[in-house]
Structure 1
Amino acid sequence: MPTPAGRRDALVDAALRLLETEGPEAVTVRRVAQHYGSSTMVVYSEFGSLGALVDAVVVAGFGALREHLLAVEPSPDPVTDLWLLALAYTGFAEHRPHLYDAMYGASAPGGHRRTGEQLLLGLDTFRAYADYCARAVAAGRLRPAEPLEIALDLWTVVHGRIMLERSGLLGALGSIIRDDPVRTFETLMTGLGDDPARVRASVAAVAGAVG
């Protein structure tokens, strides 16, 4: 028999598989119990509610995102690293769309939509992003500022682009204006204090990289 910790992890894994393979509507106590091979009482005894189970899935999702971002190894150019982070972040959202939506409250697995302090479950990932921003400030590429504030600027832009693309709006705008993520990144970095030519060189250093 699985240990309590192992049982809890297995239930989270079952919910995660349902979410990613069948979508948020599939995440119900009954379906999770079926996939785990038990009665619904096991789910309730471990989590107390479907909402608590969804929160555990979200925590696992942010943990996976954090590891994905930390795989970007620091290089001599911190702005190159910020560009690679943006690519890695976007790649995670593209490859795990149902999980990404659940993490940010854009979907309601099993009818449970996270609100309030539940939305802060990804704070550790946010802080990891800020560590890379601190390096860019220390290197003199960005003007002195609180790294968490810079991370918020970057996160807002990257997340916003992801959601606009997912909605189809960026594609629809293609006949009116050319969408260029490099230009967007350059504009943001320049606004934060970097030189446009240096930003372009930093991006060019990893041209063709994927998340």
Structure 2
Amino acid sequence: MPRPKVHDESLRDRLLERAGQTLSAQGLTALSLRKLAADVGTSTTAVYSLFGGKPALVKALADEAFHRLGADLARVEPSDDPIEDLVALGVAYRDSAVADPHLYDVMFAGTVGEPPFDGETFTAAAEPFARLIQFVERGIERGALRADAAADTMALGLWAVLHGLVTLQLRDVRLPVAADPADAFETTLRTTVEGWRAR
């Protein structure tokens, strides 16, 4: 009878979850493999067996974060209204970040230094942005969005607004204005999308 597999996907997921929480709360220097293993109730041997070391663990966190974001955006189905589709995609982006703020940090914050955008991580990072570009291209093709600007330029502008508002919300940044980023999110998103509407 074969021995049970101890270092399984469930343990890998728990390690990733805890590592992401540590990064979000305390930064990369606080990520100790020994403490991580203890927090999850396993051994450092298991961590090395599943990830091969700290750099590979951080890379796995980045991969997982981008895959989750891509999956969340993929659930937004196109409708007959490309403008509303972009708003829905933006809301899904914000909801994904709020649901997994520590993973969002791994993708975009300074907690892990320069993102390891090579190989599998680069492919994973391209998923959510490809979805945004796809929705913008669809809006152009249907005449809802301006045809005099490149789809990737429009997508970059929309993402910059999304990322900025989401980051302010997650950081709970005190602003010199009365508006709350969470409350202003959809209004600002809609106004930005409207700016690209075909006239």
Q: Same fold by TM (over 0.5)?
A: yes
Kept in 2: contact 1:15–1:57 (CA 8 A): no
Q: CA deviation at 1:59?
A: 1.0
Equivalent pairs: percent with the same residue? 31
Q: Offset of 1:62 from its aligned partner?
A: 1.4
Q: Which residue of 2 aligns with 1:138?
A: 141
Tell me the amino acid that sits aligned with residue 15 of structure 1. L
Match of 2:33 in 1: 29
> What secondary structure is seen at the aligned counterpart in 1 of 2:111?
coil
Q: Which residue in 1 is equivalent to 2:132?
A: 129
- The one-character-per-residue Cα deviations of 1:26-51 (angstroms, maximum 9, x if unpaired) are 64322343466553234334433212
1:14-163 pair list within 5 angstroms: 14-19=14-19, 24=24, 25=26, 27-34=31-38, 38-108=42-112, 113-115=113-115, 117=117, 120=122, 121-144=124-147, 145-163=149-167
| 2:18 partner amino acid | L
Q: 1:30-82 CA distances to partner (integer Å, 9 max, x unpaired)?
A: 23434665532343344332121111122112111111111111111011111
1:13 aligns with: 13
Amino acid at match of 1:117: F
Residue pair 1:58, 1:103 contacting (<8 A) in 2 also: yes
1:200 aligns to what?
none
CA shift in 2, pair 1:11/1:55, >3 Å? farther
Partner Cα separation in structure 1 for residue 186 and residue 41 of structure 2: 48
Unaligned stretches of 5+ in structure 2?
none
Q: Post-superposition shift, 1:127?
A: 0.9
Q: CA deviation at 1:131?
A: 1.2
Partner amino acid for 1:149?
T
Q: CA RMSD in A?
A: 3.0
Q: Taking structure 1 as the reference length, what is the TM-score of the superposition? A: 0.72
Pair 1:80–1:57, CA change in 2 (3 A)? same
For 2:184 and 2:50, the matched residues in 1 are separated by: 47
1:117 is paired with a residue whose SS is coil
SS of 2:127's partner is helix
- What CA distance in whole angstroms lies between the structure 2 residues aligned with 1:168 and 1:35? 27
Aligned length: 186
In the alignment, does 2:193 pair up with 1:189?
Answer: yes
Q: Which amino acid aligns with 2:100?
A: R
SS in 1 for 2:80: coil
Distance (Å, rounded) in 2 between the aligned partners of 1:87 and 1:11: 31
**Matched AA of 1:162:** V
Do the aligned residues in 2 keep the contact of 1:14 with 1:32 (CA within 8 Å)? no
Aligned CA distance change for structure 1 residues 193 and 127 (closer, same or farther; 3 Å): same
TM-score (norm. length: structure 2): 0.76
